[in-house]
Amino acid sequence: MHFPDPVRAARYPAGVRMDERGFPEFTPYARAAAEIAEPPEGFGVDELRLTDYVSANAALHAQGHELWIDVPAVATPHGWTWHHVAGTRRMELVPVEVKALLRHHGGLATAAVAHDRRGTRPLQETRPAHFGLPHRDLSVGEEQLAQAEESLGYRLPEAYRAFLKAAGGCAPVGTALDAELGLLVDQPFFTVRDDAAVNDLVYVNKCLRDHFTKDYLGVAFVQGGVVAVKVRGEALGSVWFCPYDDARDQDGWTVQERVERLLLPCGADFDDFLLRLAGDPPELETVANLMVDGGFAYQVAVGG
């Protein structure tokens, strides 16, 4: 399957091959790989997803992988995301924009976990997530923002609009976690750029039409999916998570059916979403270290 947009098509001309079972093969683009032990009985899918991500990150960090030199142990390097290989407990680190090519099943959908059990364990205590802001006054100026809104055809919801001006293109310091959904937020949010790019808000949403109707605007890649804001219709400004590799997804569904059946709410507006995020919860490192030190998560050779 080839990338439909010019930026990714130029960067990845070979596209993504689908295997005989219909699963994508991202291995040619992988920069790292990890093997994670089978989950305990009764584990929920959100618990599995989160535990796998932080454990894989910690395993690569412990081995001194070059991408983790300046990255906290449980965080994912910017621009990268983990893919669960179908039918295995192997994980591959691939570019975020490659993973986002298409709706797909993989090793999460095929995992022996409780797919109807959502959320993760409550945190003992939480502190707000912080974003590393630019040294200049604003990330996105009003004129830039107005041009983006003209291209989109609507004014952005106010809470998200304010965030985009202040912190467009910025990432949480360390990691941020939405414990209610087990969302690991460690990537830069989309911004507004003068050129076509996969982190430009207008451009990247043209690449996400397999995931969202035009009632939703993708605002960030997170580990395991995409976060979007409702920009038209009811619940304007509300925030939603679109998971990849979702066992509930089915062939033949339209994008409209997908958003109606699969999107998970994560905030009444963008301020509410940000308030849900816990900054660098110590539980993540505790769990990841137990997995690595116990030999339940370890680095393996790419393509091996």
Residue 205, domain member (yes or no) = yes
Cβ–Cβ under 8 Å, residues 80 and 186 = no
Backbone φ and ψ of 289, nearest 5°: -65, -40
pLDDT, mean over the chain = 94
Beta bridge partners of 304: none
Q: Are residues 292 and 250 in the same domain?
A: no
* 20 part of a folded domain: yes
Residue 159: the pLDDT is 98
Task: Please indicate, yes or no, if residue 117 is contained in any of the structural domains.
Answer: yes
Same domain, residue pair 30 and 103: yes
Q: Which of 209, 227, 206, 207 is nearest to 218 (CA)?
A: 227
Terminal Cα distance for the chain, rounded = 23
In Å, how far are 111, 127, 149, 161, 235 from 157, measured between CA atoms?
37, 26, 11, 6, 11
Same domain, 194 and 224: yes
Q: Does residue 303 register a pLDDT over 90?
A: no
Spatial contact of 222 and 100, defined as CB atoms under 8 Å apart: no
Residues 217-267 have pLDDT tens digits of 999 999 999 999 999 999 999 999 999 999 999 888 999 999 999 999 999
Give the chain as a 3 state SS string.
Answer: CCCCCHHHHHHCCCCCEECCCCCEECHHHCCEEEEECCCCCCCEHHHHHHHHHHHHHHHHHHCCCHHHCCCCCCCCCCCEEEEECCCCCEEEEEEHHHHCCCCCCCCCCCCCCECCCCCCCCCCCCCECCECCCCCCCCCCHHHHHHHHHHHCCCCCHHHHHHHHHHCCCCECCCEEECCCCEEECCCECECCCCCCCCEHHHHHHCCCCCCCCCEEEEEEEECEEEEEECCCCCCCCEEEEECCCCCCCCCCCHHHHHHHHCEECCCCHHHHHHHCEECCHHHHHHHHHHHHCCCEEEECCCC
Supply the Cα-derived Rg of the chain in whole angstroms.
18
Residue 13: give the domain boundaries: 6-121+282-300
| pTM, full prediction | 0.95
pLDDT score at 138: 81
Q: Is the pLDDT of residue 175 over 90?
A: yes
Residues 291 and 267 in one domain: no
Q: Do 260 and 287 have their domain in common?
A: no
Q: Do 169 and 181 belong together in one domain?
A: yes
Of 134, 99, 118, residue with least CA distance to 226: 99
Please indicate, yes or no, if residue 126 is contained in any of the structural domains. no
Residue 50 has pLDDT above 90, yes or no: yes
Q: Are 6 and 72 in contact (CB under 8 A)?
A: no
Rounded to 10 deg, the angle between the 158-167 and 142-152 helix axes is 130
Q: Is 304 a residue whose pLDDT tops 70?
A: no
Task: Provide mean pLDDT across the span 14-29.
Answer: 94
Q: What total number of domains does the chain contain?
A: 2
Verify that 166 and 61 share a domain, yes or no: no
* pLDDT at residue number 127: 93
- 100 lies in some domain: yes
**Same domain membership, residue 151 and residue 105:** no
67-99 residue pLDDT tens: 999 999 999 999 999 999 999 999 999 999 999
Indicate the angle between helix axes 282-293 and 45-62, nearest 10 degrees: 70
Place of tokens 């454990």: 55
Q: Are residues 115 and 160 in the same domain?
A: no
Output the domain CATH number for residue 265: 3.40.1580.10
Q: Kindly state whether residues 166 and 192 are assigned to the same domain.
A: yes
pLDDT for residue 38: 94
Residue 272 has pLDDT above 90, yes or no: yes
**Does 296 lie in the same domain as 226?**
no
Token pair in block for residue 137: 């006054």
For 133-173, the pLDDT digits (tens) are 877 778 899 999 999 999 999 999 999 999 999 999 999 99
- How many Cα neighbours within 13 Å face the side chain of 110? 15
What per-residue confidence (pLDDT) applies to 155? 97
- Taking residues 195-201, report their average pLDDT: 94
Same domain, 105 and 183: no
10 within a domain of the structure (yes/no): yes
Q: Which amino acid is at 197?
A: A
Tokens of 300: 């393996």
129 occurs within a structural domain: no
| Residue 154, domain member (yes or no) | yes
